[in-house]
Structure 1
């Protein structure tokens, strides 16, 4: 990792991908997706709306997994939450142009060293971050990369080795929130390219229908023990005889048989992107944030505008959290992450002074 590059981007709030507060990664991820869908909402508007609905408190605890995606749904974007996902599920969502948010252990991405292994060993899985998966790069099949948009670092196309990403993702039990439709730009691109099925025709050289069979099969096996072997089969499938089916491929590698009826056991969600009414998303009445209503402006006992006091109090909580997290990272030898949190703290202090002097 280029440490200097990473540090320079932290706290640069002119960066549209950068979260403003230490614990708003899930909110920022949703806001970026909403913007992709043409909804001109800001991070602060999303924060206030989340506070009103009990999805965010500003106390450093962030957004709970079960609440990630609720901003999207309320804004009119249908989405699906799931646990125990895997890379085949991830690839299928991306192949349909869907936007995907995952929960990860940030340290395993940002540092990914021995100290993170010790942390998991002694403390267990510790997911503490949400980000957007933008794509999977299979250019080199022997070294697949996962490309992410990370509101924590402000990087919009950061690539990580698949193994490293999976280690970080597994800490959240591979939790994933995906939109059920693609963003307007992707839908228009599908139409212009003749993708009438609403998805790519092939994924890594494997036709889409066969790929979905691999996806179903990945949930029929012990993925932890047999996932690597399944990937080898998937990787080699395009070079197998044209007459081969997934049944033949699995038999060749002495894997358990594929049950074609398994997928019927799981609910499937499908929204036709070509008939979805994107125009409804421009209606911002759902937001209706009372914090932005001038009638709610009043002074507290000290003569400070109440809304300003709420903002300062919340920012002070975030500042305390940033300092605490920086110290924890430093104590665990996670020096890059510690520096990032200290940079966050510095910019929060600047923002507090700007609010107080405004």
Structure 2
């Protein structure tokens, strides 16, 4: 297997999916040498079977807004690989969602899940619907319409979706409720449910806490303590919130938080009280992070990411490709000694 040739072939077959091609390029470059020690792999064409999804489900989602108008969005599920277990991966609701991004995420989810040593395959799904600015009832109608199309392709032994950007406990609850109604079953088909109806303890905290634990172990290899360090965090969703929470608990000072509109910079650090404000703002009021700046009188930078501020540590916790080459150079110039990734592949190849 010559990785460059495989990637070029995939580019020709899928010319409009740059994110997917990026993920494949990054992974194949790291496994090429080991793969080529096994000629039997080539005879079975394992590399293409690994790179190309098992199946892709796409569908129209029609739903009714609060004015009584029928709206339409696209829905997708990329079931990438189930060699070692049922498909497993999040559902993302965001205006940026397209097939190339979901194939990118499903591909890397396959490897990420395998590294847990649990019997899980890889998948990803979502829609270009954005919950932002929608009422609870509109979000409910959309989620019910979405799962009405998807339910026949998922199940506890087939495909187990979870949350992602735009899909939290509220959205999972709406989808699970409709799944129960359609199938007449109560089964573990969606993770990220509330504790009251089958959710798991510490599930909301797991990704953010886990990223900080990984960071702590990274620092230990250099005999560095996280206590007292200044930290940049991107995002303001589930991963970012619990990343900030654990950093505070371990004595670090988190000075940034962001959403798709911009970021806040709080030189005094985000305290437990301020984090509670962020949780209320994002999880209940569905507000924007600039409201934090208005509440606490700190700097807000519109349309930018926080990677150009001075700090010791950077924890990208928002989305893919958020640290590019320019941002990486700024991090190094501003004294950052460690980057630990909470988001899905948030660093571009050029930045690495």
Shared fold per TM-score greater than 0.5? no
TM interval, short-chain normalised: under 0.3
More strand by share: 2
The structure with the largest helix share of the pair is 1
TM superposition score normalised by structure 2:
0.23
Q: Which has the higher Rg, Structure 1 or Structure 2?
A: 1
Work out which structure has the larger RCO, using CA pairs closer than 8 Å and 6 or more positions apart in sequence. 1
